[in-house]
Structure 1
Amino acid sequence: MPVGDAVRRTAPREKAVAAVRNAAHATKWLVLGAGTAVLALFGVSALIVVGLLCLVGIGVVLLGPVLTVVRSIADLERRRLSALGHPVRSPYSHIPTESREAWRFLRSDPGPRRDIAWMCIHATFGLVVGLLPLELLSNAVEELSAPLWWSSVPSGGATILGGFVTVDSWDGARWALVTGLCWAILWFALPPLLLRAQVAPGIRLLAPHPDVDLSARVAALTATRAAALDAHAVELRRIERALHDGAQNRLVTVAVLTGAARQALARDPSTADPLLERAQQSVEAALAELRSVVRSILPPVLESDGLSGALSALAAQCPVETRVDTRVISRCPVALEAIAYYTVAEALTNVTRHSGARRAEVRVRQRGDELVIEVEDDGSGGAVIGHGSGLAGIRGRIEAHDGAMRVHSPAGGPTIVEAVIPCG
């Protein structure tokens, strides 16, 4: 069979499989959204009851607990949105339990009010939208299979189109196939659109209010700016120390040996050759150290092979058996790739020196507008980000780019170093 014919036959099949996979994925998350919508419905009912009780003064006591319930339901939706690639940060850190403080908190902080507004929308619109794909799928299955069972049910029992049309003949069964096919097409096409509609209120309302987020953002930028300046100063000191203790000392040695060789040429030319040989060796060592310093600033392998190739080369040099799994859709800015490279390099250095591990795994994923890096080993655990350590310096560089770094290393292992860097 010609290659072109095989490709033409395979392409529609792959598209059909992709359509089914997308529809099933969207249906799954819509149904999970319907679950949070049911909880939101109970939350709205509780709010109405507490509101009515507040009219007689009793409900104020229940305000703190019901706001805690509202936040718990909203946090479940935030977790679902994060899993769908829409990370939404919680707008507040705690909810007062004392009645007066809870009432003051509700009046002054827009966060709980936005959560309540989302609950009202999600408990109605989100619930209907979440259950609609199941209705489409069940109608499609029922009506496509109607020719197999319509004759075995009592008269008038076989219906299509939600019970409005009765199937009592083979002509009706054939019409059921047509309507079932229409339901199936709707199930293929609508769930992704419905999912976007269902998550839109949560993305807009569950995030911090723009005014509140702006003040928090200013504080975060002030902290990350200080961290960036510290990281920059540490990097400059490292480069200065490397040049002073390495290449500069060797060049001084070259100058001394060259002067001694000149004097030896005037007295005894035969003794000048060993001095010149030592001077040549010192020059070569100085050049090697200069190349090492340059590579530590920005590894050339990143420019030539990209992040995936650079990490594979790094893993090949690691004494511990290391597996690399890189799934990056497109090239990130060079500065971010360098940070990712040095994060993995420092983590593997700690694996080699301190963990006692036999195996390590490096996983790099591009999740939306974020670059997620994980380095896991099967060592003894107990790793911490201490002041002045290599991981602390890497964390400072990551936070300077609005990223975050975490280390999970219980006693006995395993150790997981995770870094998340925005790369939009």
Structure 2
Amino acid sequence: MNYLSGFGSHVETEAVDGALPVGRNNPQRPAFGLYAEQFSASAFTMPRHENRRSWLYRMRPTADHPPYAPYDGNALLTATGAPGPLAPNRLRWDPPELPAGKDFVDGLVTMLATRDPADLEGVAFHLYRADRPMEKRIFFSADGELLILPQEGRLHLFTEMGRLDVDPGMMALIPRGIRFRVDLPEGSSRGYVAENYGAPFRLPDLGPIGANGLANPRDFEMPVAAYENVDGDHELVQKQGGALWTATLDHSPLDVVAWHGNVAPCRYDLSRFNTMGTVSFDHPDPSIFTVLTSPSDTPGRANADFVIFPPRWMVAEDTFRPPWFHRNVMSEAMGLIKGEYDAKAEGFRPGGVSLHNIMSGHGPDVDSWRKASEAALKPEKLDGTLAFMVETCWPYRPTDYACEHAQSDYDAAWADFPKARIK
């Protein structure tokens, strides 16, 4: 399958020769009787370098649908956390069990929520568990863009703008409002979904790093145009205000024959991340691992950062190499794709989740601290691991489901540290 490279680049692609108009975005008579439709992921009057839009040439306009009705097939997808005061406790969850007979939509479970989607700020942290493909069912979120991370089982995403195959160790980014279907080539899949309500994710500025490093734009792959010419009933499920709504169409809405623009679904192989680190002593802040960022109104304070901790060399001298003990003004929701996380000896397994909210003290557990403190500091390759973090300036509020399923003994990870010896 071919892909188009370049995050945020203006590209054009057509599944049928001659479907793209030349010199005009909205011709009076598009080729083949197609309909020209602009998809805008930003306000019309955003600065040019931040204006995101693509032109889609489709078999029917998306305006062609009946009224929506409430969808009650998933009670675990929500926009709000548990009611009442937000406890400052650190929390951790085991990987969820795979369900029976659920597709991607019905297998979504909200674990953590920040703001109301109507605020156009904040982020939500979901898990998905699916063992059934979406058949004649299409989904999209009007609340935010979806960052999808399979942890077990490959995904095949058929979007309005083309197809994406996404393996564990890759991420897919689906813009707010883009419709898609999820198929399961391996029969089942589970993983993570971060839903960004705020400014669209973008590559972070590199500052003193210079022109190269971290995630390179050319490694983000967008799909070539592909379409379905299928009539018959299709269910369209829309997420709006944290709730799900459903409408029945008489055709597949995945009927875009050609498109051009600078916003589209994309995938990124996380192994292509060019990891930076120290070659002397100490180690940089974890911001050095940022793949994508969604800025807030306060410069330097992210609405959401997507950060990974991939395989890398550890060479720092006279340095405690795992993440240090710390508290900060950002809230950290973490997942583990594979292997072990170097700051936790056990209890944090692939497919699991941990939460450290604003100013929560955290860091390595006792066993990890002792091992790192006593290690002979030679160059060491940290391999076979991939963890990630969705960091936000807003406090995460666990949902009722999350509160009911949290590990009961997470605080014990920091028990029994020996007292420092002062003469």
Q: TM-score range by the shorter chain?
A: under 0.3
* Higher relative contact order, structure no. (Cα contacts within 8 Å, ≥ 6 residues apart): 2
Whose strand fraction is larger, Structure 1's or Structure 2's?
2
